[in-house]
């Protein structure tokens, strides 16, 4: 009888431990199990050099989302960036998406500058006004070789 109750206690302890590990895996891995609290928008850029998946998306200096995917639109020969935006943040159809650098040589992020329109973008739509990243190496080479 004592052996059976000891095995039960150990089994319950192991089960609770596995639940805790599963919870931490989901929370720390930023995995969304059901639906999530985000919606998807897209933006096309001429160049996204330095931008990475999971980079932040900011508006007025506040993080409102993450970059979920970076691909190539072969039809238009532009970079296609998929943004995951929090549901409580609405973006107008005339907003501008820019790729900026945090600090002098920091990580790249997407900055959303709100527009003045009353029309809000719906999930799956595309931000049409974009500004690509400034290529510092290209600017320096233009200056050095005198084509500025």
Model confidence pLDDT, tens digit, residues 118-139: 899 999 999 999 988 777 777 7
**For residue 42, what pLDDT is reported?**
94
pTM score over 0.85: no
Q: Which residues lie across from 66 on neighbouring strands?
A: 56, 84
pLDDT at residue 148 above 60? no
Q: Residue ranges per domain, the chain?
A: 1-31, 38-134
Chain-centre distance for alpha carbon 142: 32
Residue 64 · residue 83 · CB < 8 Å? no
List of residues 6+ apart from 121 with CB closer than 8 A: 41, 90, 91, 92, 93, 95, 127
**For residue 111, what pLDDT is reported?**
94
Model confidence pLDDT, tens digit, residues 15-54: 999 999 988 887 777 666 566 788 999 999 998 888 999 8
């Amino acid at each position: 009888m004592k052996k059976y109750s000891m095995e039960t206690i150990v089994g319950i302890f192991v089960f609770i431990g596995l639940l805790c590990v599963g919870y931490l895996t989901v929370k720390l891995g930023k995995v969304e199990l059901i639906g999530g609290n985000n919606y998807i928008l897209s933006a096309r850029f001429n160049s996204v050099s330095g931008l990475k998946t999971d980079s932040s998306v900011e508006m007025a200096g506040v993080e409102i989302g993450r970059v979920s995917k970076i691909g190539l639109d072969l039809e238009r020969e532009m970079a296609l960036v998929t943004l995951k935006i929090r549901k409580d943040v609405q973006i107008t159809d005339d907003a501008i998406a820019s790729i900026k650098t945090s600090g002098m040589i920091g990580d790249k992020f997407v900055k959303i500058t709100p527009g003045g329109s009353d029309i809000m973008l719906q999930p799956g739509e595309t931000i049409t006004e974009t500004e690509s990243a400034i290529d510092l190496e290209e600017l320096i080479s233009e200056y050095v070789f005198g084509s500025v």
